[in-house]
Structure 1
Amino acid sequence: MRRFGRTLVTAALAVAVVGGTAGWASSGSQAAVTGPPPGTAAWRADTAYGRTLPDPATAEPSEVARFFAGLDDAHRAALVRSHPLVVGNLDGAPLPLRYEANRLAVAATGEARYASLAAPDRRILAFDPRGRGQVAEVFGDLEHAAHVAVIVPGNDNDAASYDSRRTPHSGPAGMARALRAATGSPAAEGAVAGGPVAAGPAPGEPVAVIAWTGYTTPVGVGLDAADGRLAAAGATRLARFTAGLDAAGAADPVLFCHSYGSVVCGLAARHTDATDLVALGSPGMRADTADGLRTGARVWAARGPSDWIADVPNVSFAGLGHGADPTSAAFGARRVPAADVRGHTGYFAPGTQSLAAFAAIAKGEAR
């Protein structure tokens, strides 16, 4: 009974510490956006060559890929024009079609907060305007890159805020640009320095990076951040997204999972074909050990000396808390050097040990 009491107090403390340390307040519980995108009903009612279109809710990405392989260019283009939100979010569809479909879908919203995403030089791989909006963007040549990295962010990220220039290197798009530059892609240098977005492929580039804000993230830090409800919904979407990359012929990804995003990755790990899984600034991954993630991927962990996440108790009780510290020796992850990382969001800052290590992992050079 005494042990139960201590556990209950510690679990409650986890929520209080997270809220107090971050200095943020939760704006209320978030409703997870799940299921197929808007426009699915019209898609299901349509046909191509008299054939039923693959159901966005039930068709496997490999089935989607086979369907599009059987269409000619004219029919593919017609589906993009008629159903941009579906094609743009249909895992397994050809990458160029998704980019064009999402350009049309973003432009059709008529919303100023999304306007920059419709620029012709951006490769938007997914766009869902429901709720706070979700988006995935490719930096580099995903079709031909030898390696693929996916940034999975944590709290307070959505389609409107994920590319904020006020906090370079800390938002999903900033992290992606910084990582791509660190792997040696010359086309990314201007973007990292604060210049225009660089989306064109660099011949022979080693790594394409995807900024994946593809789930409903917690807002602020409160109960949504302390439980796993949003992470579980996100894990389902992440697993399907990575299956779509595989079906489209992309290389198996490395997942870079920041903060609450590492909870998402922990729950999705056994359902992805990731080669490596990197948890940074993690509150826990809903597993006691790296082996408990049940993945064939190599598991890495990083935490900077001034990251406030260290003050969050690593407990799990009654659905609250995310369990063991991935940087602890007992967890068994490979450690990423992070002694010069500042705060909770400085892991991708240029010149840091962590970014150099991330680049080596992304290129398959780390051991």
Structure 2
Amino acid sequence: MRRFARTMGAAALALAVVGGTAGWAAGDSQAVVTGPPPGTAAWRADSSAGRPLPDPQTAPPAEVARFFAGLDETRRRELLRAHPLVVGNLEGAPLPLRYEANRLAVIATGEARYASLAAQGRRILAFDPRGRGQVAEVFGDLEHAAHVSVIVPGSDNDATSHDAPRTPATGPAGMAKSLRAATGGQGAVIAWTGYTTPVGVGLDAAGGRLAEAGAVRLARFTAGLDAVGAPDPVLFCHSYGSVVCGLAARHTDASDIVVFGSPGMRAGHVSALRTGARVWAARGPSDWIADVPNVEVGGIGHGADPASPAFGARRVPAADVQGHTGYFAPGTRSLAAFATIAKGESR
């Protein structure tokens, strides 16, 4: 009975923290954007190839890759022009085709808030304008990269904020750029905001609903990388993004999963993630995430602290990290360790 009372007390504390801890803010409940991209109905009805096109929702990425391998360049470009939103988000489709499709899709929205994403030379690997928008951008040459890293961000990230001014080395794109610079330009880094993130840190951030939907999308995304011949990725998962990575871990072929500023991975121990990936964790001394109780009761909270020795993850040095978003700041020990992991040189 006492143990139950302590557990419920911790859960109550978690809710109180969500509402009042410094660094946390009230959040609005978000409608999950998931499923196939806009334009899927027209794609499914397209009979110009004389056979059904691979279904964006159900076709495995490997099947999509085989389909495009059997098309000549003229036919590929016909599909790109007719269905840019589908081709741009179709896991397993050729990378250059997706970049061009997403450029056309961004332009077609006619929205100023997305216009910069269509600039020549940018490699936009995914773009979905529904809701707050989802986006993934590649930094480096993904087609020929020997190493690939994927940044999975937490709350308050979406397509509308992707190009918004930020403190350097923060936000998905800033982290990706900083990591690639720290590796000396080796490999490719993807800033992946491919799921509906919480807004603020309210009940959405304290619960697993958005993470569960995000995990499905992340698993399919990594399967798409595999289908086009990319090496097994390293996942760098920040804050609520680490909840997404925890739920997706058993369904990806990631070589390493690195979590930082994590509220938990919905697992009591690294073994419960059921992944062959090496799991790493970092938490800076001034990161306010340390004030969040590590409980999971009635769907609230995300469980054990991945940075605690008891969790069993490998530790990443972070003694010089400032705040909740400083893990990729140039010169920090955490960034140096991240670069080593990204290059496959860690032990």
Structure 2 residue aligned with 1:35:
35
- How far is 1:11 from its partner? 1.1
Structure 1 residue aligned with 2:227:
247
Structure 1 residue aligned with 2:136:
136
SS at 2:173 equivalent:
helix
Paired residue type of 2:89? N
> Structure 2: how far apart are the matches of 1:269 and 1:227?
18
Q: For residues 1-367 of structure 1, what are the structure 2 equivalents within 5 Å?
A: 1-185=1-185, 206-367=186-347
Q: 1:41 to 1:22 in 2, by over 3 A?
A: farther
- How far is 1:62 from its partner? 0.4
Q: 1:222 to 1:137 in 2, by over 3 A?
A: same
Asked whether the 8 Å contact 2:88–2:125 carries over to 1, the reply is: yes
> Structure 1: how far apart are the matches of 2:129 and 2:171?
19
- How far is 1:48 from its partner? 4.3
SS at 2:309 equivalent:
coil
Paired residue type of 1:111? E
> Structure 1: how far apart are the matches of 2:341 and 2:103?
31
Paired residue type of 1:314? N
Paired residue type of 2:86? V
Report the more deviating stretch, 66-75 or 26-35: 26-35
Q: Deviation per CA, 1:53-85, whole angstroms, max 9, x where unpaired?
A: 001111000000000001000000000000000
- In the superposition, the TM-score normalised over structure 1's length comes to 0.93
Q: Deviation per CA, 1:144-192, whole angstroms, max 9, x where unpaired?
A: 010000000000000011333232211000000000000001xxxxxxx
Consecutive aligned runs of 4 or more in structure 1 exceeding 4 Å deviation: none
Asked whether the 8 Å contact 1:254–1:276 carries over to 2, the reply is: yes
> Structure 1: how far apart are the matches of 2:266 and 2:292?
14
Identity %: 82
Asked whether the 8 Å contact 1:163–1:172 carries over to 2, the reply is: no
- How far is 1:230 from its partner? 0.2
> Structure 1: how far apart are the matches of 2:275 and 2:112?
41
Asked whether the 8 Å contact 1:145–1:208 carries over to 2, the reply is: yes
Report the more deviating stretch, 42-51 or 311-320: 42-51
> Structure 2: how far apart are the matches of 1:73 and 1:246?
22
Asked whether the 8 Å contact 1:163–1:171 carries over to 2, the reply is: no
Q: Deviation per CA, 1:90-128, whole angstroms, max 9, x where unpaired?
A: 000000000000000001111111010000110000000
Asked whether the 8 Å contact 1:10–1:315 carries over to 2, the reply is: yes
SS at 2:310 equivalent:
coil
How many residue pairs get aligned? The number is 347
Asked whether the 8 Å contact 1:22–1:221 carries over to 2, the reply is: no
> Structure 1: how far apart are the matches of 2:126 and 2:174?
18
Asked whether the 8 Å contact 2:37–2:128 carries over to 1, the reply is: yes
- How far is 1:21 from its partner? 2.5
> Structure 1: how far apart are the matches of 2:11 and 2:191?
32
- How far is 1:207 from its partner? 1.4
Asked whether the 8 Å contact 1:48–1:75 carries over to 2, the reply is: no
RMSD: 1.0
Asked whether the 8 Å contact 1:27–1:220 carries over to 2, the reply is: yes
SS at 1:135 equivalent:
strand
Unpaired stretches in structure 1, ≥5 consecutive residues: 186-205
> Structure 2: how far apart are the matches of 1:66 and 1:48?
18
Paired residue type of 2:284? G
- How far is 1:24 from its partner? 4.2
> Structure 1: how far apart are the matches of 2:245 and 2:254?
10
SS at 1:47 equivalent:
coil
